[in-house]
């Protein structure tokens, strides 16, 4: 295995990085694990695992409501994470950071609060043809309830958005544009800043699904000027079951609460309930306290490696894999946008992606096969599914070579 890679005169010590991830050092079907399913979920460095274990070993207690030592310490750690996330996103205030269980629940929160309040009969919401189901279905449910319409920005054959079509889609009835920053099935990086500019010229707020960008690219909510943004902890080397919703304070302030319960209230009587201040208004009940604390460890870890370094290494992996897989006869890459993150979707003739995935598994290689919760993307390409290899900064060029040769072998057997 290569040990260190030079990036802009900085040494990216891949062996040291891999040693931070305990799960990577195991055999699968007697072969070294080659984990290339990072778009589905990333692996966790030891610092994240330790932070969760330490929390349960030393600090476990419910937050916000206790006057005792452990509760105050747990509250402090939980709220420190809010500051970590605020700084990471460059939000203006901690009030703009709401902890959820993940991207899906963040988007559903907006649909059920901002959406229900502002979308009425005949209004329109715009999404794109490359959205994950979690950025389609909540809007369909809302449109059904409100008799509103969902409109879809199309893509081209490279898997890029056709931005010019916004002119035809945006009307005075458009109430929200909800768009993915990076496609999980195509890898396309969307020109999100431009989309937000177009939307704002028409006084339309924008929700950004950052589930696949937060771990690869700098996401600065003030630079982007997005109105809402959602991401999941588990895609950025943090725990599952925790996520973030960012919202501009003035918008969150005007929104009704989503779930009712403890922590989100300031006073309850049977006659009347008043709600807590931001961000607690949207955090009913006991959340994933350990997960939130683990998320801070994950963000600190990513910052210590540096998003720029991560991006450079992953771009090299993607280029190498794209070059090598393109040479395989009969293999077609799905998603050839100019701007991509390290996601490589492909089909090979009539071979079913599940068969490819199963054969590669026997070589120790974990990839994802299926529609990747983006069935409209599959429909666009008239395919039922793809095989998808997705790379993280702990992946190596040896692993790209292993994927290439195992794939060649697999195709030979299955053809
Ligand atoms: N959006 C995108 C682009 C995704 O890739 C995913 C996860 N595959 C989601 C939303 C949903 O994320 P979660 O399941 O963590 O809520």
80-99: pLDDT as tens digits? 999 999 999 999 999 999 99
Residues 302, 236: contact at Cβ < 8 Å?
yes
How confident is the prediction for the chain on average, in pLDDT?
A: 96
Query: Which residue lies with its CA nearest to atom 5 of ligand 1?
Result: 184
Same domain for 9 and 90, yes or no, is no
Q: C-alpha 288: how far from its chain's center?
A: 18
Among 215, 227, 164, smallest CA distance to 189 is for 215
What are 350-405's pLDDT values in tens digits? Answer: 999 999 999 999 999 999 999 999 999 999 999 999 999 999 999 999 999 999 99
Same domain for 28 and 76, yes or no, is no
Can you tell me the distance from the alpha carbon of 106 to that of 260, in angstroms, rounded to the nearest whole number? Answer: 16
Mean pLDDT of all residues in 266-277: 95
Same domain for 30 and 133, yes or no, is no
Query: Range of 34's domain?
Result: 5-43+306-410
Can you tell me the distance from the alpha carbon of 113 to that of 255, in angstroms, rounded to the nearest whole number? Answer: 6
For the four alpha carbons of 23, 24, 27 and 28, in that order, the dihedral sign comes to positive
User: 226 an active-site residue?
Assistant: no
Same domain for 278 and 337, yes or no, is no
- Confidence check: pLDDT of 131 > 60: yes
Q: Any idea how long the chain is?
A: 415
In a domain? residue 113: yes
**Measured between alpha carbons, how far is residue 165 from residues 5, 25, 386 in Å?**
42, 48, 27
Per-residue pLDDT, 414: 94
User: What's the burial of 132, exposed, middle or buried (CB within 10 Å: 0-12/13-18/19+)?
Assistant: buried
Same domain for 56 and 34, yes or no, is no
Which atom from ligand 1 is nearest to the alpha carbon of 209? Answer: 1
Per-residue pLDDT, 117: 98
What are 1-32's pLDDT values in tens digits? Answer: 444 454 444 557 999 999 999 999 999 999 99
DSSP H/E element including 47: helix 46-54
Same domain for 162 and 62, yes or no, is yes
Write down which residue in 276, 303, 330 finishes a domain: 303
Residue 48: other Cβ atoms inside 10 A:
26
Write down which residue in 255, 278, 303 finishes a domain: 303
Q: 216 CA to middle of ligand 1, Å?
A: 15
- Confidence check: pLDDT of 290 > 60: yes
The strand pairing partners of 32, in sequence order, are: 27
CA atoms within 13 A on the CB side of 161: 26
Establish whether residue 211 lines the binding site of ligand 1, counting it when its CB lies within 6 angstroms of any ligand atom.
yes
Among 240, 282, 239, 233, smallest CA distance to 96 is for 282
Rg (alpha carbons) of the chain, rounded to whole number: 22
Same domain for 289 and 141, yes or no, is yes
Same domain for 255 and 278, yes or no, is yes
Establish whether residue 239 lines the binding site of ligand 1, counting it when its CB lies within 6 angstroms of any ligand atom.
no
Is the pTM value of this prediction over 0.85? Answer: yes
What are 45-62's pLDDT values in tens digits? Answer: 999 999 999 999 999 999
Domain holding 13: CATH number?
3.90.1150.10
Instruction: Name the residue of 37, 42, 102, 103 whose CB sits within 8 Å of the most ligand 1 atoms, as the mutation to test its pocket.
Output: 103
Same domain for 209 and 237, yes or no, is yes
In a domain? residue 149: yes
Per-residue pLDDT, 10: 52
Establish whether residue 232 lines the binding site of ligand 1, counting it when its CB lies within 6 angstroms of any ligand atom.
yes
Which atom from ligand 1 is nearest to the alpha carbon of 232? Answer: 15
What are 390-400's pLDDT values in tens digits? Answer: 999 999 999 99
Write down which residue in 262, 278, 303 finishes a domain: 303
Per-residue pLDDT, 66: 87
In a domain? residue 415: no
Domain tally, the chain: 2
Same domain for 108 and 249, yes or no, is yes
Strand 124-128 with 149-153, pairing: parallel
Q: 43 CA to middle of ligand 1, Å?
A: 16
Same domain for 71 and 118, yes or no, is yes
In a domain? residue 276: yes
Q: 166 CA to middle of ligand 1, Å?
A: 24
The strand pairing partners of 25, in sequence order, are: none
Residue among 34, 143, 226, 373 flagged as catalytic: 373
Establish whether residue 37 lines the binding site of ligand 1, counting it when its CB lies within 6 angstroms of any ligand atom.
no
For the four alpha carbons of 113, 89, 319 and 367, in that order, the dihedral sign comes to negative
φ, ψ at 124 (rounded to 5°):
-135, 145
Among 189, 132, 177, 168, smallest CA distance to 150 is for 177
Per-residue pLDDT, 2: 45
Domain holding 207: CATH number?
3.40.640.10
Same domain for 268 and 354, yes or no, is no
């Amino acid at each position: 295995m290569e040990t260190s890679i030079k990036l802009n005169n900085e040494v990216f010590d891949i062996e040291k990085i891999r040693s931070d991830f305990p799960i990577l050092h195991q055999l699968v079907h007697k072969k070294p694990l080659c984990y290339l399913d990072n778009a589905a979920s990333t692996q966790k460095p030891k610092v994240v695992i330790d932070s969760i274990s330490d929390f349960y070993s030393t600090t476990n207690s419910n937050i916000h409501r206790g006057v005792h030592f452990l509760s105050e310490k747990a509250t402090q750690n939980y709220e420190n994470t809010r500051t970590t996330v605020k700084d990471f996103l460059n939000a203006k205030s901690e009030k703009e950071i709401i902890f959820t269980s993940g991207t899906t629940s963040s988007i559903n929160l907006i649909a059920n609060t901002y959406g229900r309040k502002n979308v009425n009969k005949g209004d329109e919401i715009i999404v794109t043809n490359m959205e994950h189901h979690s950025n389609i279905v909540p809007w369909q449910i809302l449109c059904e309830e409100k008799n509103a319409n969902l409109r879809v920005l199309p893509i081209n054959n490279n898997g890029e958005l056709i931005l010019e079509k916004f002119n035809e889609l945006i009307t005075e009835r458009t109430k929200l544009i909800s768009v993915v920053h990076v496609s999980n099935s195509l890898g396309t990086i969307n020109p999100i800043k431009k989309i937000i500019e177009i939307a704002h010229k028409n006084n339309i707020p924008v929700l950004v699904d950052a589930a696949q960008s937060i771990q690869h690219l700098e996401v600065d909510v003030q630079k982007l000027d997005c109105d809402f943004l959602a991401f999941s902890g588990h895609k950025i080397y943090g725990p599952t079951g925790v996520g973030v919703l960012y919202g501009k304070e003035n918008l969150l302030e005007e929104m009704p609460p989503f779930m009712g319960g403890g922590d989100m209230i300031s006073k309850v009587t049977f006659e009347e309930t008043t709600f807590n201040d931001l961000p607690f208004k949207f955090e009913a009940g006991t959340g994933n306290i350990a997960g939130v604390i683990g998320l801070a460890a994950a963000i600190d870890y990513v910052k210590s490696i540096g998003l720029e370094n991560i991006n450079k290494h992953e771009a090299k992996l993607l280029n190498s894999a794209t070059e090598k897989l393109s040479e395989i006869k009969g293999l077609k890459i799905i998603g050839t946008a100019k701007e991509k993150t390290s996601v490589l979707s492909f089909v090979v003739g009539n071979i079913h992606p599940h068969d490819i995935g199963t054969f590669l598994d026997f070589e120790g290689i974990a990839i994802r096969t299926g529609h990747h919760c983006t069935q409209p993307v599959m429909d666009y390409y008239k395919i039922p599914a793809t095989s998808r290899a997705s790379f993280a900064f702990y992946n190596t060029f040896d692993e790209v070579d292993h994927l290439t040769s195992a794939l060649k072998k697999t195709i030979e057997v299955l053809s």
